[in-house]
Structure 1
Amino acid sequence: MYEYFKGRITQITPGAIVLETKDGIGYKIYPANPYHFEVNQEAQVFVEQIVRETELSLYGFATLTEKQLFNKLLNVSGIGPKSALAILAGAKPADLVAAIENSQVDYLTQFPGVGKKTAQQIVLDLSGKMDDFSSLVDQTSTTFADAESTDSVPSRSNLEDALAALEALGYASRDLTKVKKALVSETGSTSDLISKGLTLLVQG
């Protein structure tokens, strides 16, 4: 139904952003990494609306390619919106396409909610069906400023926000404990720490 929204980011939480359009409506959107954005930023966010018996949600993406990959993953039995979003958060689009086409099951099992059977199902369902992404070589997401707004979450440190965002993606507490130990001495924005945390989680 919706392709994208343009507007101003008015709120950021570890699991979602709120984008207010010019008509004054604020849309709650679930992106892979909310901290790619900043409060008061003008942004265009590609969206996919998921309507189910117990859910009416908007999932957001920095690029059209990410949205298309999200929808591809939803075609796989056993993959829901949250699992698909977690995969996209931890994998570069080109790497994900390569993993599917090369039947790299072990790579796919590193994401939350993806066991060996589900990873095999991803390969079975999507291998040979990724022609739309065959030219994907150096796909990069829209660059967003990393500056942190003190208005968004003033009571949290960047590390706490990053860990909360990873938890929202479905990563287990035991994995986050390991990541916290590795990141406790790191510096950078919340978005930087999320990216470093995802790298550690995917590499195992």
Structure 2
Amino acid sequence: MYEYLKGKITQIAPGIIVLETKDGVGYRIYPANPYHFEVNQEAQIFVEQIVRENELSLYGFATVTEKQLFNKLLNVSGIGPKSALAILAGARPADLVQAIENSQVDYLTQFPGVGKKTAQQIVLDLSGKMDDFSTLVEGASATFAEAKEGKQAANRSNLEDALAALEALGYAARDLAKVKKALAMETGSTSDLVSKGLTLLVQG
């Protein structure tokens, strides 16, 4: 019935938020993470209305992607709205999609209420049906690769600076060559690498 609601967040509590629209109606919404929002924040919340025998509830999401994933999870036997929210609250959308497509059952069992049998059911019901999220995963993979490359570059720079500092302290090139390989396996600031290098050099 509803695609999204716009208004001001007037209340945040564990498990719920209240969104007051311009017509003065306050909607009680169950989000994946209520603390993603702030009181008095103007927000557009994507919502899914679930109607059951004794219940009419609105589930809310910060992005349309989260809403789409929520509906995908509801198609899994044994997954209800609360379980789907718990999964979305604890996973990045791209990680969740990758876990499903790669049959990573152990990853899925980390969420509340998801045992091994349910995790296997998620994979069985949704694997191969996540094409709508392919660009999401590709973007996340690219971002991860860029971050990894940047971190490796920083580590190389820190290593070079640490070796230069050790050389300035009077250590010979042949001694530095002995510890370079060990330092290359370490991560940390230049200062951390210098301290580790000194320890290795003293140990000889």
**How would you bin the TM-score normalised by the shorter chain?**
0.5 to 0.7
Structure 1 residue runs of 5 or longer lacking an equivalent are: 141-204
Residue 66 of structure 1 aligns with an amino acid whose one-letter code is E
Residues 32 and 138 of structure 1, relative CA distance in 2, 3 Å threshold: farther
Percent identity for Structure 1 against Structure 2:
89
Greater per-residue helix proportion: 2
Residues 52 and 99 of structure 1, relative CA distance in 2, 3 Å threshold: same
User: Are positions 1:10 and 2:27 aligned together?
Assistant: no
Counterpart contact for 1:16–1:31, Cα < 8 Å: yes
**Within 5 Å, which residues of 2 pair with 1:104-115?**
104-115=104-115
Residue 58 of structure 1 aligns with an amino acid whose one-letter code is L
* CA displacement 1:30-55 (0-9 Å, x = unmatched): 11111111111110000000101122
Counterpart contact for 1:17–1:28, Cα < 8 Å: yes
For the residues of structure 2 that align with 1:36 and 1:103, how far apart are their CA atoms?
A: 29
TM-score normalised to structure 1 length: 0.67
Residues 21 and 138 of structure 1, relative CA distance in 2, 3 Å threshold: farther
Residue 2 of structure 2 aligns with an amino acid whose one-letter code is Y
Counterpart contact for 1:93–1:139, Cα < 8 Å: no
User: Are positions 1:38 and 2:29 aligned together?
Assistant: no
Counterpart contact for 2:49–2:56, Cα < 8 Å: yes
**Within 5 Å, which residues of 2 pair with 1:113-128?**
113-128=113-128
Displacement of 1:122 in angstroms is 0.3
**Structure of greater Rg:** 2
**Within 5 Å, which residues of 2 pair with 1:47-196?**
47-137=47-137
Displacement of 1:15 in angstroms is 1.0
Residue 17 of structure 1 aligns with an amino acid whose one-letter code is I
Corresponding residue for residue 22 of structure 1: 22
Structure 2 residue runs of 5 or longer lacking an equivalent are: 141-204
Residue 85 of structure 1 aligns with an amino acid whose one-letter code is L
* CA displacement 1:64-97 (0-9 Å, x = unmatched): 0000000000000000000000000000000000
Displacement of 1:137 in angstroms is 3.2
Residue 36 of structure 1 aligns with an amino acid whose one-letter code is H
For the residues of structure 2 that align with 1:41 and 1:74, how far apart are their CA atoms?
A: 29
Residue 40 of structure 2 aligns with an amino acid whose one-letter code is N
TM-score normalised to structure 2 length: 0.67
Question: More deviation in 3-12 or 33-42?
Answer: 33-42
For the residues of structure 1 that align with 2:16 and 2:138, how far apart are their CA atoms?
A: 27
Give the count of matched residue pairs. Answer: 140
Runs of 4+ residues over 6 Å off in structure 1: none
